[in-house]
């Protein structure tokens, strides 16, 4: 059972454009929602994370939007660059239970 579902599966964006990746979750006990970035042959790197007490969090060009009632959250990459080309994973966990449930990942390709 996939507890966290991502869409779209892959995304092609022009340089300078906005990349948007969506995630939906089912378990209402989840209260920690990170996004990870993974390059080929590397481990996932924590990009940005949000808790449900806020609806949006921004760090540089990366923004998480969170909709608690819809049980959805999304990652926005502003001014996308070729160096952002990677696989992005959303995940979720409950406070005090550090078992991260990952989505299947989205491959983002930024073309010059």
By CB under 8 A, residue 23 contacts other proteins:
no
CB of 43 to other proteins, least distance (A): 4
Q: Mask: binding to other proteins, 38-77, rule CB under 8 A, as x and -?
A: ---xxxxxx--x----------------------------
Applying CB under 8 A, the span of 12-20, 33-41, 54-62, 69-77 interacting with other proteins comes to 33-41
* 99 class by beta-carbon count within 10 Å (0-12 exposed, 13-18 middle, 19+ buried): exposed
Q: Which residue lies nearer to other proteins by CB, 96 or 112?
A: 96
Reported as half-sphere exposure (CB side, CA atoms, 13 A), residue 108 has a value of 30
How far is the first Cα of the chain from the last one, in angstroms, to the nearest whole number? 38
CA distance 45 to 96: 21
Sign of CA dihedral 46, 52, 57, 63: positive
CB of 49 to other proteins, least distance (A): 7
Neighbours of 39 (CB within 10 A): 12
Q: Which residue lies nearer to other proteins by CB, 80 or 106?
A: 106
- Give me the residues that bind other proteins (CB under 8 A), please: 4, 32, 34, 36, 41-46, 49, 89, 93, 95-105
């Amino acid at each position: 059972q996939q507890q966290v579902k991502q869409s779209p599966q892959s995304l092609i964006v022009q340089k300078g454009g906005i990349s948007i990746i969506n995630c939906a979750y089912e378990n209402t006990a989840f209260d920690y929602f990170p996004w990870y970035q993974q390059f080929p042959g590397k481990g996932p790197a924590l990009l940005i994370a949000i808790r449900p007490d806020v609806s949006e969090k921004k760090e540089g060009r990366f923004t998480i939007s969170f909709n608690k009632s819809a049980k959805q959250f999304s990652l926005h990459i502003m001014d996308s660059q070729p160096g952002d080309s990677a696989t992005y994973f959303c995940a979720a966990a409950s406070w005090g239970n550090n078992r991260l449930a990952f989505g299947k990942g989205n491959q983002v390709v930024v073309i010059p």
